[in-house]
Amino acid sequence: MLQQYMTAPVNGGLQNHLAEPIRVGVLGFGGLGQAACRVLAPKREMRWVAAADQKGYAYNPDGLNADACIAVYQSQGTLGYLGREGTLSSDSIRELIEQARQVDGYFLALPNLPNTFMASVAEEFIRSGWQGVLVDAIKRTSAVEQILALSEDLKAAGITYLTGCGATPGLLTAAAALAAQSYSEIHCVKITFGVGIANWEAYRATIREDIAHLPGYTVEKARAMSDAEVEALLDQTHGLLTLENMEHADDIMLELAGICDRDRVTVGGVVDTRNPKKPLSTNVQITGRTFEGKVSTHTFTLGDETSMAANVCGPAFGYLKAGITLHHRGVYGVLTAAEVMPQFVR
């Protein structure tokens, strides 16, 4: 299916030469899914052709219009009402996979609620016989472990799956893996994030996943909360969610990459659900000892002007492009953002 993606030496290296754009699907059409289609709209190397939400899906091999899709979803609650391109469905993911056989790769912009949901989606792709590239931005260590457990099945199915490819885990994990090269020993990796969202309802599922990290909450409890209960909690905290020592997959990803043991990785941050401005700068600090015996810290800080959506979707599609190259070379199974360098998508 991916024969149109050829590789040729360029200045001693390899570069993708795309005979036609990579055909991309987006599963999930909440705040993150809608941002993803906007990120894709100006790309020449990718064409957004498919999307699914809870109640329906849309597919057009010639490309979907982001403005039209968002307008229909926001007014009617599902892409299923998108004229000839939309289909109402109570089993939208499975039906889209079956109908859109020519999609080369999917970004799984789905809430991992319950914590087994993303693994169940991967299993749906395995059963379907579809071959291509899957990229997720899931956050919990236990969720990534479930994807890793499917590696042999994904390999046998001819699927290249890149996991933990958002901002954190993802962009910051990759930065930590790169910065670690300065050291003979890594003492600790500390990731601190700040997220600003003007209206939490645009990212309901993401906020529930964050609430699940608060003391006294679980994934199941956060998932079961009504919108009114979430709103009441946010009223109590003045719209701020302060998260510490999170179960975050940066730890297992850096451990698998041989950077450091997972207990040396800590993740935390602040989410402001009522203000688009970040409450603090997002950064990763990598502290280690050099071969000369000196202890130092590298710090990689994201610009405050880049939104959560930009820092998740951009890397996700960079990893998807890298995954296409790997898939063309016959590399199947599961890889993480700490093992693969994303490729810039023009």
State the catalytic residues: 139, 209, 213
Contact (Cβ atoms closer than 8 angstroms) between residue 103 and residue 23: yes
Sort residue 158 into left (φ over 0), alpha (ψ -120 to 50) or beta. Answer: left
Return the closest-CA partner of residue 133 out of 158, 96, 99.
Answer: 158
Q: What share of the chain is helix, strand, coil (3-state, %, to 5)?
A: 40, 25, 35
- Strand pairing category for 105-108 and 86-88: unpaired
> Phi and psi dihedrals of 69, rounded to 5?
-65, -45
**For the chain, first and last CA: distance in Å?**
22
Residues written for the chain? 346
Helices 204-211 and 227-236: angle between axes, nearest 10 degrees: 60
Residue reference for tokens 């209960």: 229
- Take residue 13 and report the two structure tokens written for it: 């290296």
Cα–Cα distance, 270 to 97 (Å, whole number)? 36
Per DSSP, the three-state class of 82 is: coil
According to DSSP, the residues that pair with 185 across neighbouring strands are: 289
Tell me the Cα Rg of the chain. Answer: 20
CA 128 to chain CA mean position, Å: 22
Cα–Cα distance, 95 to 88 (Å, whole number)? 10
Return the closest-CA partner of residue 106 out of 133, 76, 145.
Answer: 133
According to DSSP, the residues that pair with 161 across neighbouring strands are: 134, 334
